[in-house]
Amino acid sequence: MTHQLPPLSDPALEAFLADIGFGLAPEPSSPPLDVTATTVAATPREEDTSASPPLAERRLRRQISNRESARRSRARKQRHLEELRARAAGLRAGNRELAARLRGVQARAALARLANARLRAEAGALGRRLAAAQRAIALRQLYAAASAGGGFELQALASLIV
């Protein structure tokens, strides 16, 4: 639905509005106006001000202002989105680095657990050898005492230790 506004008295403003897509075509007698570098409409001349309705001009200026504001808002949103994407990329890189460090720590912990298990097994074997050696020493001492004193009971007691 296009809303037709009354024609303006300023040909430059009408050409500008037609260029930015407001649906107003410039008068055929006026040359096309290049307003790509400016975003503000040309001000009407003194003698044309009384001929144009002020409400329509205010509405057009407000529409132009709203479009410019929307353009700035989209640009801000785009910049913010790019900043968020850059931040996300940095966080992903940090995450990859931390994951690599974690894998290294986990590998070292696994090696430490293997070494710990090996050392525990070795400690158990050495403990068993020590207990056997202590029993052998005690047995020798009993046999030596039995052979020196010659008691049968001492030899029977020594045989129970083994």
pLDDT at 141: 83
> Is residue 2 in some structural domain?
no
> Is residue 66 in some structural domain?
yes
The rounded mean pLDDT for the chain is 79
Tell me what percent of the residues of the chain surpass a pLDDT of 70.
65
Report the pLDDT averaged over residues 20-32. Answer: 54
> Is residue 70 in some structural domain?
yes
pLDDT at 27: 47
- Checking if the pLDDT of 109 tops 60, the result is yes
pLDDT at 5: 55
> Is residue 16 in some structural domain?
no
Task: Please state, in angstroms and rounded to a whole number, the distance separating the CA atoms of residues 4 and 132.
Answer: 111
140 by Cβ neighbours in 10 Å (0-12 / 13-18 / 19+) ranks as exposed
pLDDT at 125: 97
- Checking if the pLDDT of 40 tops 50, the result is no
Q: Look up residue 96 and give its two tokens.
A: 């990859």
pTM of the model: 0.45
pLDDT at 148: 75
Which range of residues forms the domain containing residue 126? Answer: 58-145
Q: Which residues contact 91 (CB under 8 A, 6 or more apart)?
A: none
> Is residue 45 in some structural domain?
no
- Checking if the pLDDT of 144 tops 90, the result is no
Q: Look up residue 59 and give its two tokens.
A: 């509405």
> Is residue 71 in some structural domain?
yes
pLDDT band at 161 (very low <50, low <70, confident <90, very high): low
Query: What is the dihedral angle through the alpha carbons of 81, 85, 91, 94, rounded to the nearest 10 degrees?
Result: -150
Inter-residue contact 52 to 8 (CB < 8 Å): yes
Q: Which residues contact 6 (CB under 8 A, 6 or more apart)?
A: 52, 53, 56
> Is residue 139 in some structural domain?
yes
| Number of domains present in the structure of the chain | 1
> Is residue 158 in some structural domain?
no
Task: Please state, in angstroms and rounded to a whole number, the distance separating the CA atoms of residues 152 and 159.
Answer: 11
